[in-house]
Structure 1
Amino acid sequence: MAKGYSLATDLRLLINNPNYSDITIVCEDGSFYACKAILAARCEVFNGFIYNGMKETYENQIRFPEIKSIAMKIILNYIYTGFCTAEELKNDTIIDIYHAADYFQLKNLSDYIIRVIGFFLKPSAESNVPELLSRALVKLSPSEENSLLQILAEYVSSMPLNTIEYNQLSFPALKFLLSYVRGKGKSLPATEYEVFRFVIIHVAHQISKDAVEMLENYLPTMDKIDQIQDSNIIVQNTEFHLFRPQLTEILTPLLEFIDIRRIDGKILTDVLEPLDIITPEKIVDAYRFYARNHLSLPSSFTTETPVSFKQNNLSPVTANQNNFFPTSETLTPDNLRSPIVNSPPLISKLNFIWDESACGSDLVIEKTGSTVRALSSCKSTENVKGKILIYDKGIYEWNLIVDKGCKKMYIGICAGKSFDVESFAGYQRNGWVFASSGLYWNDSKFKRGEATYAEGDKITVHLNMNEKTLAFSINDKRYPEISTWRKLPSKIYPVVSLSYPGQIRIQPH
């Protein structure tokens, strides 16, 4: 093509052309000829290097040892022509190119890469995303404000943990992922125990193959959780004691992102406590959480016959229903071992039931409290509250299964003693509900949502008491937090509203 028809085409001829260059750019693995005037006019960073009065001003060479030549080629093409195509951004180079665009403060190019990178994050390529996050954190500082790190962490946080290989996710990437999830008030698609198991085995990979093998054999997967091994297998293992200090040192900073209160009590006492890698303070906090929130003790403690247990293999301590949790006089972090012989189940398993004393007159509660059903006399929606008061910091989640649909159903939360179980929750100031029609209701005001639900669907409530926000999932597809429901009250109950022939079942997530 003759010159003069396309400015971009003509300028592209100047790239890496010694005839039109007065400076050499040296990269990590190559070099390019360039023009100072074009670089300075189009990029503030280059302008600072070339005309800063320092050695780069007088030398005809400038070095960028952390920038790869494949990335610099894209940068120069963009600076000279103003163009970058998706075809130039490959899966194996896009992190390096974004790093270069970010380094040279070319915001439009960085934003374009963020839009294009979505093509590389389709489900068919999803298994590669942990590697991309790991590579990105080699190049970029771990800031949760970085757009690329955000989008990669968002994708990884939605992946089942058992699909992520330990060598795909670097240790810095794991730490960033946990921090990102906690900061966003999200949760990984796994139980808290599964998260703990994944993290501690990942930590073991930083130590030795023997540490990995030992912990993989000792910590059961969820499908084998009923096959808990004798803790003496690991407690009396000399090799475990040798690497436990290093394991504890690496693991401790990550434990702030794991809420051990959400781990089943039996797993906590029979599996995790014997490892002696969780601080006594965290163990005490978990048991206090159980003590504050359980409506009743597990069935194994309903008898008046005292039960014995031991603390740190010292003399037996007697406990019954009234003093099951030791008092501050008998229990301190220093001497704490498990105060539970037959540990209680998760709070969610015990407490997510409906409250018969806070139930509409035309609703009945069945199946040991987990199911609410509307009678034929229930012509308009009535409410039922969950028999649990949520008031502690943390992230709480529960499922609602629509066993039988009705014309209008509402799922959400309520607060305060003034909440009226006979009146529509969405009209009340202290009721926040998600309608089966897709509307979000509160205080007689509504906002259109993104999805609807019906008979047979599972709706998950995601309540973040740290940020006081609420979100919902339908059949495990999560939708954004409701932006107008900010600063929720500090004391909250689950609630549903339904009419005949509706039937809704509550269960832990």
Structure 2
Amino acid sequence: MASQSDNPPNPPKSSNSSQPSPQPKSLEGDLRKLLYDERFYDISLKCSDNIVLNACKNILASRTEVFNEYIFDKSKKNNANQQRQQLEFDKVNSIAMKLILEYLYTSKNEKETLSVSNVVEVYYAAIFFKLDDLQNDIIEYTMKILREGDKTDETITYGTEELNELAKKLLSEFIEKFSLDVNNDMSKLLVDWVAKIQLFPDNADGDSLSLMGLQHLLNKTFETKDQFATYELTLFEYTLVKTKHIILEEKTGSKKSYDMNYDSNVIERIKDRLMPLLPFIDLRIIDPDDVVLKLEPLKLFPQEMITNAYRYRIEKKHELLQPIRGRMTFRWKYEFEGKESKESKNPPSPPIITNNGFTVEVDSNIKNYQSIMGDLVIKGNGVHRWDISVENLNDTIYIGICGKDEKFDKPGDKTYQYGYALGSDGYVYNKRDWKWNNAKFTVGDVVNITVDMTAKHCYFSVNNQTFYEVIGHAFPDELYPFVSLNKGGKLHIK
């Protein structure tokens, strides 16, 4: 990739430089040749980084109405006596402009390629020049790097954590380039992606999400019906820790997230930074006890917000609310610790986790069951619901909840003590018992799991149809989603 200080390379000069070169094999090749041949330059483009690039104005004007207006609108022309017209772009840098030029000349990008470092800048330029097809290409590319990482940088190995940080970084860069109230395809893609990442207060003072990026996320997902992975109270704690870190310029840590033992000047600065974000914290779905004991003493929220939250709770007193915005989601996380094959002392082949952690499957040759847990702790009061779609099933599979420290292959094992599971055979399993539920499921079905942590009840539905209420019991205060599968079973968090 060319550096920002480089101009497009010119062909080497020779005594017969006025003679045409051997003909390329395609029109695309001819046009790419024009891009780097100084004999055809008749316009200069000064970019936001003060680098000047050269081009052929007839090609630019014919390829996009924006350049056409810039070039032929008299109000934008330079002095008529100037030998070469120069246009200035104060929000498009030279890296993005090189890629735009190659795309305008050839409808492709081969020399100037997209990468993590330029994708936001190029997307901005594609919008500026109204290049819809290029915008679509950039969105597809961004989706690919969010799933796989930037393959142009071979020094980085991308796991789930690295991909999560990449998504936060891109959202932060995007908001810095655009604005907080922007609404386009890239905004939707990055917000949806980061919304499905758990935001931990422990990481708030060291991750890649900027405060402006966080504000955009909170704004766009307020009252969302889409997937979200962070409890609302935890979301506020994350916001507070990040804000304090910016003001104090030091690590604050989640254990001190509620500590406001600072002088009045520092507190006012923290409040000022928090003020634009607080309206997008939904106090209505945070447990009232937490509002009273944890949030009110901070004296950060306007009293009107707290009063409205109490009123909402009174109006909904007969309803159980979910303490997380949108549709609860999580990722699969496999831990081998304590697991051994029943047939050998060698560990079993682990389940295959794909699709950035949302899809899990086991090899079709594996006959023994393997259980895998989600990475979200189900805790606190209220209703918690998630949906799992069945993509492959060759034998009975089990979907349910379990205790934090349980290690088992499938329900019915003696180590399965604290949870409930629905089998594709239509039975509900608890400990070493089972009960007919008439809720069979197969490939293409969606299993709905609802846990009422207030009443300590669990419900299973298939395609949103509940057959029977599952019996409840005093299961632990902290639970995890889990599935058990074998013989090529495959499930996806919907």
TM-score (norm 1): 0.56
Shift of 1:186: 3.6
After superposition, the Cα gap between the structure-2 partners of 1:288 and 1:101, relative to the gap in structure 1 and judged at 3 Å, is closer
Conserved? CA contact 2:204–2:239, under 8 Å: no
Structure 1 match to 2:133: 108
Aligned residues: 329
| Aligned pair partner of 2:441 in 428, 437, 440 | 437
Show the counterpart of 1:459.
Answer: 449
Instruction: Give matches, 1:398-413, under 5 Å.
Output: 403-405=421-423
Q: Encode CA deviations 1:227-285: one digit per residue, 9 max, x unaligned.
A: xxxxxx74xx4x34332233223323322221223223333222222111122222233
Of 252, 256, 273, the residue aligned with 2:275 is: 252
Aligned equivalent of 1:379: none
Return 5+ residue gaps in structure 1 as ranges. 221-232, 297-344, 353-400, 411-423, 425-434, 439-448, 463-473, 476-481, 483-493
| SS class of match (1:24) | strand
Asked if the contact 2:424/2:440 (under 8 Å) is kept, the reply is no
Secondary structure at 1:61's aligned position in 2? strand
Cα distance, 1:117 vs. partner? 1.3
Partner of 2:375: none
SS in structure 1 at match of 2:301: coil
Q: 2:209 aligns with which of 153, 166, 169?
A: 169
Shift of 1:172: 1.6
Deviation at residue 218 of structure 1 after TM alignment: 3.4
Matched residue, 1:287: 310
What corresponds to 1:307 in structure 2? Answer: none
Please point out which of 497, 503, 508 is paired with 2:467. Answer: 497
Residues 1:148 and 2:186 are matched in the alignment:
yes
Distance 2:185 2:316 in 1: 39
CA distance 1:33–1:87, shift in 2 (3 Å) = closer
Letter in 2 for 1:7: L
Question: In the alignment, is the contact (CA less than 8 A) between 2:222 and 2:280 conserved in 1?
Answer: yes
Q: Runs of 5+ in structure 2 lacking a partner?
A: 1-20, 149-158, 320-378, 386-418, 429-436, 453-459, 480-494
Tell me the equivalent position of 2:68.
47
1:204 paired residue among 234, 244, 247: 244
Equivalent residues in 2 for 1:18-417, closer than 5 Å: 18-29=38-49, 30-56=51-77, 58=80, 60-85=85-110, 88-122=113-147, 124=159, 125-143=163-181, 145-162=183-200, 166=206, 168-182=208-222, 184-186=224-226, 188-209=228-249, 213=252, 216-219=254-257, 234=260, 237=261, 239-294=262-317, 348=382, 403-405=421-423
- Distance verdict in 2 for CA 1:41–1:291, change over 3 Å: closer
SS of alignment partner, residue 66 of structure 1: coil
CA separation in 1, counterparts of 2:318 and 2:224? 30
Q: Counterpart of 1:403 in 2: which secondary structure?
A: strand
Structure 1: how far apart are the matches of 2:287 and 2:307? 15
Q: Is the 8 A contact 1:409 1:498 kept in 2?
A: no
The separation in 2 between residues aligned to 1:495 and 1:128, in whole angstroms, is 39
- Say if 2:170 and 2:190, in contact at 8 Å, map to a contact too: yes
Q: Distance in 2 between matches of 1:195 and 1:75?
A: 39
Q: CA deviation at 1:183?
A: 5.6
1:3–1:113 distance in 2 versus 1, CA, 3 Å? same
Aligned-CA RMSD value: 4.0
Q: Secondary structure in 2 aligned to 1:256?
A: helix
Give distance in 1, aligned partners of 2:246 and 2:295. Answer: 20
CA distance in 2, matches of 1:191, 1:176: 17
Change (3 A) 1:409 1:133: farther
Q: Which residue of 1 aligns with 2:360?
A: none
Change (3 A) 1:409 1:498: farther
What code does the residue aligned with 1:38 have?
I
1:37: how far off? 0.7
Partner Cα distance (1:5, 1:292) in 2: 73
- Select 1:8's aligned residue among 28, 31, 56: 28
Q: Aligned pair in 2 of structure 1 residues 85, 275: CA closer, same or farther (>3 Å)?
A: same
8 Å contact 2:198–2:229 — kept in the other structure?
yes
Percent pairwise identity: 27
Taking the aligned partners of 2:474 and 2:94, their CA distance within structure 1 comes to 57
The DSSP-based 3-state class of the residue aligned with 1:88 is coil
Q: Given the two structures, how large is their TM-score scaled by the length of structure 2?
A: 0.58
1:145 to 1:408, Cα distance in 2 relative to 1, 3 A: farther
In 2, Cα distance between the equivalents of 1:263 and 1:42? 53
Cα 1:110–1:290 change in 2 (3 A) is closer
Any conservation in 2 of the 1:404–1:504 contact (CA below 8 Å)? no
Shift of 1:289: 4.1
AA aligned to 2:33 is: L
Summarize the Cα distance change of 1:290–1:180 in structure 2 as closer, same or farther, 3 Å threshold: closer
Q: Which amino acid aligns with 1:15?
A: L
Question: Shift in Å at residue 203 of structure 1?
Answer: 2.0
Q: Is the Cα–Cα contact under 8 Å of residues 74 and 88 in structure 1 kept in the other structure?
A: yes
